[in-house]
């Protein structure tokens, strides 16, 4: 009997999905002439293949109907929360004859459908053998743990418990990120791949967060064994040092996520999206302090209390944006590669504050900038842009007076 096929697929992909041979098991697709793609993947329980069909390439996992439906909905919800994960295409069910089961109350039928979780293929993933190859510098290895820590911290602070956090379920690749006011930058990012076990909760308890982290540490031990068995020459990946680093970064970044959340609740500004990321959690406090000062100032002017979020809007439009646009047009940003506009703003303003405190008077923009430049070892040619940039900064900052 030809089994019935049911499609639950996003319209955009319908044509490419419908022409695949869903009436046969995934493991046999290749024999039936489907060209599968050789893609590095994590260890998995289920049959997973990658295929190109028309304009798209997909990752397809064979699995039960209920789970595939749930997994696709998990991916949708993760994306809505802005989490770095696979893009869901949908699920396709092959209906089979139910299995008759003899029970004391007569014959019962057990559902026997086969389903498939389909996601868009993520390409250019860095394979494990490269990620953890022998002689990998500590610096490079730490960038990998940074990416993993960022993913875990983001999940937990957004009320997501993964339940299967492991290296095998994490894809790592270089991504082109848009940094506000700076432009595009390449960053190592970790993707959540495998969303079967995910749970959404209003808040993830500390004990669950710890459990998830410890589970991930175990997965680092497994991969040692896997790679050794595969004959890949490499250093130990799960040294105590690695774990300690990952734990430290996770806690740091989780703290940062909390700060950013609270900042957004109070000001309605998302720091990453509107100002650029910050590596140091205390920068969120400093930005908030500036906005609070600005609120005091605009309230004085208006002879009435201005709300913090209105003050934040005024500060952003009239101070932050013009300053950052000027950093860019005057070429100041080029002297501080790797810094975001938010970081430069905080550092320059803090520098001005401390210098002024020390000398008991407002030191002005030019001295602030010269000092900042010296401290970060910016090229001497910076002197050229110093005068003009400082003058423009002063105009913007004085604009409110
Ligand atoms: N769309 C995709 N793009 C790239 N890699 C994928 C994709 N889907 C799955 N993978 C890889 O295949 C692995 C196995 O899939 P997964 O959902 O984890 O199966 P299992 O539930 O059996 O563990 C993943 O961990 C990931 O490495
Ligand atoms: Mg998996």
Is residue 125, in this structure, part of any structural domain at all? no
Give the CATH number for residue 19. Answer: 3.30.200
Is residue 228, in this structure, part of any structural domain at all? yes
> Cβ-count burial of 189 within 10 angstroms (0-12 exposed, 13-18 middle, 19+ buried)?
middle
Instruction: Quote the ligand 2 centre to 168 CA distance (angstroms).
Output: 6
Q: Residues with beta carbon inside 6 Å of ligand 1?
A: 41-42, 44-46, 48, 59, 61, 86, 119-122, 168-169, 171, 193-194, 196
Is residue 177, in this structure, part of any structural domain at all? yes
> Cβ-count burial of 367 within 10 angstroms (0-12 exposed, 13-18 middle, 19+ buried)?
middle
Domain co-membership, 135 together with 258:
yes
pLDDT value of position 377: 66
Instruction: Quote the ligand 2 centre to 167 CA distance (angstroms).
Output: 9
Bridge partners, residue 56, by sequence: 53
Please report the atom of ligand 1 found closest to the CA of residue 58: 1
- For residues 326 and 389, the answer to whether their CB atoms sit within 8 Å is yes
Question: How many domains are contained in the chain?
Answer: 3
* pLDDT for residue 400 is more than 60: no
Does 85 or 187 have the greater pLDDT score?
85
Considering 222, 250, 267, which residue would you say is the last residue of a domain?
Answer: 267
- Highest mean pLDDT: which range of 86-90, 127-131, 330-334: 86-90
Instruction: Quote the ligand 1 centre to 171 CA distance (angstroms).
Output: 9
Is residue 95, in this structure, part of any structural domain at all? yes
Domain co-membership, 263 together with 136:
yes
Give the CATH number for residue 164. Answer: 1.10.510.10
pLDDT value of position 328: 83
Other Cβ atoms within 10 Å of 253 Cβ, number: 21
Domain co-membership, 14 together with 139:
no
Does 81 or 326 have the greater pLDDT score?
81
Q: Give SS3 for 24.
A: coil
* Residue from 13, 26, 121, 193 to probe ligand 1 pocket by mutation (most atoms less than 8 Å from CB): 193
Q: Residue 397 corresponds to which tokens in the numbers above?
A: 């900052």
Q: Residue 32 corresponds to which tokens in the numbers above?
A: 């039936």
Considering 120, 143, 178, which residue would you say is the last residue of a domain?
Answer: 120
Domain co-membership, 277 together with 385:
yes
Report the candidate in 277, 337, 330 with the shortest Cα–Cα distance to residue 153.
Answer: 277
Q: Residue 232 corresponds to which tokens in the numbers above?
A: 């890949």
Domain co-membership, 168 together with 208:
yes
| Residue with CA at minimum distance from ligand 1 atom 23 | 44
How far apart, in whole angstroms, are the C-alpha atoms of residue 7 and residue 222?
37
- For residues 133 and 234, the answer to whether their CB atoms sit within 8 Å is yes
Does 118 or 280 have the greater pLDDT score?
118
pLDDT value of position 129: 62
Q: Residue 86 corresponds to which tokens in the numbers above?
A: 């696979």
| Residue with CA at minimum distance from ligand 1 atom 8 | 59
306: containing domain: 271-398
Flag whether the pTM goes above 0.85.
yes
pLDDT confidence of 253, banded at 50, 70, 90?
very high
Domain co-membership, 34 together with 95:
yes
Domain co-membership, 302 together with 375:
yes
Is residue 191, in this structure, part of any structural domain at all? yes
Please report the atom of ligand 1 found closest to the CA of residue 125: 4
Considering 242, 267, 292, which residue would you say is the last residue of a domain?
Answer: 267
pLDDT value of position 345: 92
Domain co-membership, 21 together with 104:
yes
Domain co-membership, 237 together with 285:
no
pLDDT value of position 98: 87
Domain co-membership, 142 together with 237:
yes
pLDDT value of position 300: 96
pLDDT value of position 381: 62
Domain co-membership, 146 together with 114:
no
Domain co-membership, 166 together with 279:
no
């Amino acid at each position: 009997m030809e089994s019935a096929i049911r499609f639950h697929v996003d319209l955009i992909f319908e044509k490419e999905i419908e022409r695949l041979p869903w009436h046969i098991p995934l493991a046999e697709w290749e024999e039936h002439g489907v060209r599968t793609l050789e893609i590095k993947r994590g260890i998995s329980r289920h049959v997973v293949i990658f295929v190109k069909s028309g304009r798209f390439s997909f990752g397809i996992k064979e699995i039960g109907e209920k789970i595939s439906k749930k997994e696709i909905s998990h991916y949708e919800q993760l994306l809505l929360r802005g989490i770095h994960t696979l893009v869901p295409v949908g699920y396709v069910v092959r209906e089979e004859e139910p299995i008759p089961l003899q029970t004391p109350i007569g014959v019962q039928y057990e559902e026997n459908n086969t389903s498939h979780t389909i996601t868009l293929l993520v390409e250019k993933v860095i394979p494990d053998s490269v990620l953890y190859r022998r002689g990998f510098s500590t610096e490079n290895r730490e960038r990998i743990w940074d990416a993993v820590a960022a993913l875990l911290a983001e999940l937990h602070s957004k009320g997501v418990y993964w339940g299967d956090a492991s290296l095998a379920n994490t894809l790592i690749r270089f991504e082109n990120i848009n940094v506000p006011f700076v432009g595009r930058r390449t960053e190592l990012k970790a993707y959540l791949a495998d969303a079967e076990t995910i749970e959404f909760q209003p808040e993830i308890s500390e004990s669950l967060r710890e459990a998830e982290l410890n589970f991930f540490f175990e997965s680092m031990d497994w991969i040692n064994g896997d790679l050794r068995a595969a004959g890949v020459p490499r250093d130990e990946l799960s040294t105590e040092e690695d774990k300690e680093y990952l734990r430290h970064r996770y806690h740091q970044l989780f703290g940062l996520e909390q700060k950013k959340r609270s900042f957004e609740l109070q000001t309605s500004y998302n720091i990453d999206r509107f100002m650029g990321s910050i590596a140091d959690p205390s920068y969120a406090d400093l930005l908030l302090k500036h906005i609070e000062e600005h609120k005091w100032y605009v309230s004085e002017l208006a002879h009435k209390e201005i709300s913090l979020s209105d003050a934040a809007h005024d500060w952003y439009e009239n101070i932050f944006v013009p300053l950052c646009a000027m950093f860019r047009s005057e070429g100041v940003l080029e002297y501080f590669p790797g810094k975001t506009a938010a970081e430069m703003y905080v550092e320059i303003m803090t520098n001005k504050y401390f210098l002024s405190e020390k000398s008991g008077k407002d030191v002005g923009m030019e001295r602030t900038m010269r000092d900042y430049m010296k401290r970060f070892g910016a090229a001497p040619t910076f002197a050229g842009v110093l005068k003009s940039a400082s003058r423009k900064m002063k105009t913007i900052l004085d604009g409110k007076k």
